[in-house]
Each structure stands twice: as structure tokens, then as C-alpha cells.
Structure 1
């Protein structure tokens, strides 16, 4: 098994990273909080011009035809800047869900619009309870009972729910099933839902990696500038250890996330447990980063004036998105304790 990133993938990551660092700053994030939608049409248009809105849309529908492994590094960079626009959701959840429906007419109707940035589609799953970005969605693909429905704005009633992360816009959505379009039912619908859950969990894990790195960088910079007894507090061993404990765990968390992306992109039978492994370790290190970053900042780390709280709150939100740690540990346990489990390094890293 080889999920090493190609030179092109790494160069694409660097170019997107440079763009996001210039365009999505703590100042622009705070400015977006003051707007009605919390989203920037101008930034979305820039995504369109860069081809990012169509990155996972097949070439036949006007996209670039890439997959989860191509996009996972970009999702990581989106987490680094705490991106609020639904770019990651669109690329890793909405587009693959439409493709999994295997409905040529439905795909032809929506995928070209997504690639061109003319339509935003969001997927709402029961496991999340609330639907993020429902207020700006041209179409919502919603789980309800044992079926999946396509719901437009005029067919739904939205109720806003506040989040600890002001960059997230969450809504409860009510709709009449007799008016909405039923896309799938029964076992087929459950497969659609399972696929969306796995890709959503991967998206959360990848963004958690980025948020963790940002909290490390913010804390290192702060401890290099903050002085006590005439020296930077970053020179104290106790402070160094706090961030070192996050940094090495972050490195260990990356490989499971990349493996999960590979498994989803290649349709491996292990994808579900690979995703759960990735979600657990990525969100655990993000939570640790939040805890230790507060420690090295002192009480002021949680205050509104500090940029740190933007990324801490995003990490906390990602932890409970697309399944809590308990949910994903149960999925792993179901496999590990099964009679036919293939365990050990020889099986873990086999092709």
C-alpha cells in the first residue's frame, strides 16, 4: 500500500495554503461574524476561479475529477485557517454523495452548477442533529427515517441554533416528505448515509490536524514573545513540554488520516474502521492542543482578544461532528473484537 503524496499534490497544497493564509485571516473571520450569513461571496468566487469548487466533480460535469486523497491535504489547510465557507463539505461530502446516488439526471442537474460555483449543496445527517450552512444552500440532501431526500429552501423551515464556534452556522431543518424529492430508501439509502458519514468524519479529522498545527504555531509565537524574569517563557522546560507533547502526537495522527483518505478514494473494505481511527486520533490531538495552548497562554488564552480561541472552538466543534469519540471507538471495537479480525502489523500495512 502506497499513499505517499505526489509532488503535484504537495505543490497544490502549498499554493492553496498561501492563498488561504492571505485571504482567511483572524481579522476577516471576525468580520464575517458580523454579517447576516457569516459567509463571503467574494471568497467563494475566488475558490471558483482557482477551480477548488469543482475539484472532486468528474471532468464530464466540468470539474477536475480528483478524489478524497487529492483533497485531504487541502482540507487540512482549511482547518489551519478555520475556514467557514463550505468548501470542504462540498468537496468531500456533497459531491461524493451525489455521485453515490448513481442518478445521472440528478448529477447532470447539480454537479455542473457546483463546479461552476453557481450552487451550494449540503448534506444533513441524523448523527449531527443540525445542518450546517442550510441558510446558504441551494439544495439540501437530508436523512429522514430510512430515506434520503432532496430539499430546496422553499420546501424547508430553518431554525438557527447557536454554536460555540461562531464560524459555524447550524440549523434545525423541518420539511414535508410529501413535497420533497425522495432520492433513496431502504438499504440503498443506508449505504448513502454511511458513505456521507465516513467522508464527513474524514473531513473533520483532516481539519482537526490543521487546527492543531495552528494552535501549536500560535502558542510557540506567544511563548517566544511573552517574558518573565527577563526571558521568554518558551525557554522554560515546562512550557516546552506542553507543546512538544502536542507536536509529536500530531505527527502520529497524520498517517491514519491519510490512510483513511486512501481507503475511501480506493473503495477499500477497511474504509469504515480507517475513518474511525483517523477521527479519534486527529480530534484527540486537537483537544490536547486546545488544553495545552491555554496552559501556556494562561487565562488570557480563552479571551475574545486572542486568536487562539477561534481555533480551540473549531477543534471542539469538529470533535463532535460526524460521530463522537465514543461512536467511533465502538465502530473500531466491533471490528477488533470480531472473530475474523485481521490484526497485527502484517495485516495493517499489507497491500
Structure 2
């Protein structure tokens, strides 16, 4: 069995990385975040032109038709370059929800508009009391019990809320569910809602890993330049150990993320377990990267002028996005309890991919 990424997946990932490196330098993002909307229509248009919003849109709807595994690569790039939530929420989470619905003219139109960047979609879930980018969304996908609704922006009241991460635009939304806005409900709605949560948690896991890698890279660059006692502080053994611990956690978390993406794409029966494991491992790596980054930078790492704070604050915000540490740990505990009398080997990688 071949576990490597395809040439198309890697080529697309590299192209997106080069584009974001050029278009989303930290100083550019700071200027965007200081505007009233916190968003750049030009950047959003350029991102759409690169095909990022069309990655998982079916080909018959004008998209590229890649799956969850491809997105596990792209979300790491979104985290590495600190790209706002709207890209993952619209291009991946919302597209996944809409694609899971019965085919209809309206559904197909939404998917086509998303792929071209002409439709912004905000997504809510009971795990996320605040909705990201609701103020600019053309369409909001909202949950009421087990019912999934699509609500136009003019039918929703939006109350802005501040975040520790200045790049995020969060809001409380007030709306009235109706039969006209309802997309799906009952048992099917419950399944769509569960899949939505897994997809949102997986996207967040990928971003956290990207953030962890960026903070590690920033820290390595800093300790190579900062000197004490006539030596670069990166030559000190304690500093090396701190950053090596971060690198280790990132490498441990990556295969867990890829397994979760593979499980979601193939409909593995233990996908809930795998996604929660990915979120916990990624959050642990990013949290440690932020902690050690501040340790080596000192107090100046918190200041607006230093790039580290951008990625550190995003990490703190995303740690509880699409499920807190406690909620994902609970899912793992529920799985262990339900299989305790059966076979705990099903929690291992052999269950995911088979014996080859």
C-alpha cells in the first residue's frame, strides 16, 4: 500500500506555499488586520484565482475535486502563513457540508460560486459559540439541534466580539430558523453535523501544525542571531533541547493528522477517534512551540512588532476552535470505554490501513 502523496497534491501544495510566501508577508497581514473589516478583497480574489477555494469542490461544479488528504497539506500552509479562518471555513468546511447534501440546483450554484471566490460562507457549530467572519459572509451555515440551515446575511443579526488574535473576526449571531432556510434535518442532519465537526477539527489541526512549524522556524532564526556572552544563544545546550522538543512533537503529530485525513476521506468507522487524536497532537505541538518560542525570545515576543506574537496568538485561539482539549479527550475516553470489552488494537494504525 502506497502512503505517499501524489505528484498533483505536492505540486499544488508547493504552488500555494510560494504564492502565500509572496502575498502574505507579516507586514502585509498587519496592515490588513488593522482595517475595519480585517480582510482584503484583493487578497481573497487572488487566493481564489490560485484555486484554493476550489480544491474540494466537485469537478462537475467547477472545482478541482481533491479530497481531505490534500487539504491536510494545504491547511498546514494556511497555518504557516497565518491566513484567516475564512479560507478553510469556506473552501473546506462549508464545501464538505454542501457536498454531503442531496444534489439540487441551489446547492450546485453555491458550490460553483465558492470555487470562483464570489461567495463567502461562514459556518457555525454548537462547539463554536462565536462565528468567524460572519460580518462579511454572503451565506451562513447554521445549526439548530440536528437541523442544518443556510441563511442569507441580511436575515442574521451580527454582534462583533473581540479575540486575543487580532486576525480573527468573531461574532455572535441571532437568527430565526424556518422551513425555508432548512437544508437537512433528522438523522441525516445529525450525520451531516457530525461530519462538519470532524472536518472543522481536522482543518484546525492542520493549521495548528503549520503554526507550530512557523514558530519553530522563527525561534531557530532568532537564536542563531541573538548573542549572549559573545556567542549565539542557539549554541547553548538548553536552547537546543527546548527547540528539539518542539521539532519532535511536530513530527509525532504529522502522521496522526494524515491518518485522520485518510479516515475522513475513506469513511473509516473510527474517524471520530482519529480526528480527535489529530486535534490533540497538533494542539500539543503548537502549544509547546508557542511556549518555547516565548522562552527563547523573551518578553519582546509578545509585542506587536515581533512576528512570533501573530502565530502564538492564533495558536491560543485555535486550541479550542472546533472542540476544546477536554471535548476531544472525552471522545477518546468514550471510544476506549466502548471497546474495552472488545479489542483495543482497533485504536492503532493497523486498523486504519490494514496489514498491507
Please classify the TM superposition score into its range, dividing by the shorter chain length. over 0.9
The Cα offsets for residues 135-175 of structure 1, whole Å up to 9 and x where unpaired, read as 11110010123321111111000000001011111011001
Does structure 2 conserve the Cα–Cα contact (< 8 Å) formed by 1:216 and 1:243? Answer: yes
SS of the counterpart of 1:88? helix
Q: Structure 2 residue aligned with 1:350, among 340, 347, 354?
A: 354
Provide the residue aligned with 1:305 in structure 2.
305
Distance in 2 of aligned mates of 1:101 and 1:315: 32
SS of the counterpart of 2:135? helix
Instruction: Tell me the CA shift for residue 13 of structure 1.
Output: 1.3
Does structure 1 conserve the Cα–Cα contact (< 8 Å) formed by 2:85 and 2:132? Answer: no
The Cα offsets for residues 25-71 of structure 1, whole Å up to 9 and x where unpaired, read as 11111101221211111111112222222111111111111111112
Provide the residue aligned with 2:126 in structure 1.
126
Matches for 1:259-270 after TM superposition, within 5 Å? 259-270=259-270
Matches for 1:105-254 after TM superposition, within 5 Å? 105-178=105-178, 181-254=181-254
Report the RMSD for the aligned CA atoms in angstroms: 1.5
Distance in 1 of aligned mates of 2:259 and 2:29: 31
SS of the counterpart of 1:158? strand
Instruction: Tell me the CA shift for residue 8 of structure 1.
Output: 2.3
Distance in 1 of aligned mates of 2:232 and 2:44: 40
Distance in 1 of aligned mates of 2:10 and 2:349: 28
TM-score (ref. length: structure 1): 0.96
Distance in 1 of aligned mates of 2:186 and 2:352: 33
Distance in 1 of aligned mates of 2:52 and 2:165: 24
Change (3 A) 1:350 1:143: same
Runs of 4+ residues over 4 Å off in structure 1: none
Distance in 1 of aligned mates of 2:267 and 2:63: 21
Q: Which runs of 5+ in 2 are unaligned?
A: none
Q: Does 2:331 match 1:331? A: yes
Change (3 A) 1:78 1:261: same
Distance in 2 of aligned mates of 1:142 and 1:224: 48
Provide the residue aligned with 2:4 in structure 1.
4
Q: Which runs of 5+ in 1 are unaligned?
A: none
Does structure 1 conserve the Cα–Cα contact (< 8 Å) formed by 2:71 and 2:203? Answer: no
Provide the residue aligned with 2:279 in structure 1.
279
Does structure 2 conserve the Cα–Cα contact (< 8 Å) formed by 1:56 and 1:66? Answer: yes
Distance in 1 of aligned mates of 2:240 and 2:18: 28
The Cα offsets for residues 76-132 of structure 1, whole Å up to 9 and x where unpaired, read as 011001101622222220001001122423322211111111111121111110110
Does structure 1 conserve the Cα–Cα contact (< 8 Å) formed by 2:48 and 2:116? Answer: yes
Does structure 1 conserve the Cα–Cα contact (< 8 Å) formed by 2:139 and 2:153? Answer: yes
Matches for 1:15-54 after TM superposition, within 5 Å? 15-54=15-54
Instruction: Tell me the CA shift for residue 239 of structure 1.
Output: 0.8
Instruction: Tell me the CA shift for residue 349 of structure 1.
Output: 4.8
TM-score (ref. length: structure 2): 0.95
Distance in 2 of aligned mates of 1:180 and 1:28: 41
Change (3 A) 1:345 1:304: closer
Does structure 1 conserve the Cα–Cα contact (< 8 Å) formed by 2:79 and 2:208? Answer: yes
Instruction: Tell me the CA shift for residue 298 of structure 1.
Output: 1.3
Provide the residue aligned with 1:75 in structure 2.
75
Does structure 2 conserve the Cα–Cα contact (< 8 Å) formed by 1:138 and 1:153? Answer: yes
SS of the counterpart of 1:140? strand
Q: Kindly tell me the number of residue pairs found equivalent between the two proteins.
A: 351
The Cα offsets for residues 229-262 of structure 1, whole Å up to 9 and x where unpaired, read as 1111110011111110000110010001011111
SS of the counterpart of 2:319? helix
Does structure 2 conserve the Cα–Cα contact (< 8 Å) formed by 1:55 and 1:65? Answer: yes
Distance in 1 of aligned mates of 2:180 and 2:131: 17
Does structure 1 conserve the Cα–Cα contact (< 8 Å) formed by 2:146 and 2:193? Answer: no
The Cα offsets for residues 181-230 of structure 1, whole Å up to 9 and x where unpaired, read as 11122222111111110000000000001000000011111111111011
